[in-house]
């Protein structure tokens, strides 16, 4: 149950990031569209940004988690715990899940960004 709550919090953070990114960068997206960037490239840009953010977050979390696990195991050697086991299949599953969550979370924001009218986006107040 605790893993489910952790995953839910992580996915909500991943979903929130691309949506806020598109809202905050409306003018920049409009400028890119004005200079000739296609809708497909704008959509791909938002998707790539979302995947990179999700992957960096997962790498940071996994790196810190493994470092804390190693440090905790070293401290516990005083109490007889001498072996360290890192579940590499779980680590790889988390990385794959973060990429999938990043791609899924970017679908609606990428569509919104691609449909942005260039002149309307440039005219929005920042």
How far apart, in whole angstroms, are the C-alpha atoms of residue 80 and residue 82?
6
Residue 117's Cβ-count burial label (10 Å; 0-12, 13-18, 19+) is exposed
pLDDT in tens, 98-122: 999 999 999 999 999 999 888 888 8
Q: pLDDT tens across 37-80, in order?
A: 999 999 999 999 999 999 999 999 999 999 999 999 999 998 98
What CA–CA distance (Å, rounded) separates 32 from 82?
56
State the pTM of this model.
Answer: 0.83
Tokens of 106: 């970017």
């Amino acid at each position: 149950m605790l893993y489910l709550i952790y995953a839910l919090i992580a996915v909500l953070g991943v979903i929130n990031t691309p949506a806020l990114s598109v809202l905050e960068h409306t003018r920049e997206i409009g400028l890119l569209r004005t200079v000739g960037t296609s809708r497909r490239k704008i959509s791909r840009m938002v998707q790539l940004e979302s995947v990179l953010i999700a992957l960096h977050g997962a790498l940071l979390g996994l790196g810190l988690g493994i470092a804390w696990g190693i440090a905790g195991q070293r401290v516990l050697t005083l109490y007889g715990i001498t072996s360290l086991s890192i579940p590499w299949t779980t680590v790889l599953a988390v990385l794959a899940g973060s990429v999938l969550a990043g791609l899924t979370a970017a679908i609606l924001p990428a569509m919104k960004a691609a449909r942005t009218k260039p002149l309307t986006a440039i005219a929005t107040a920042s």
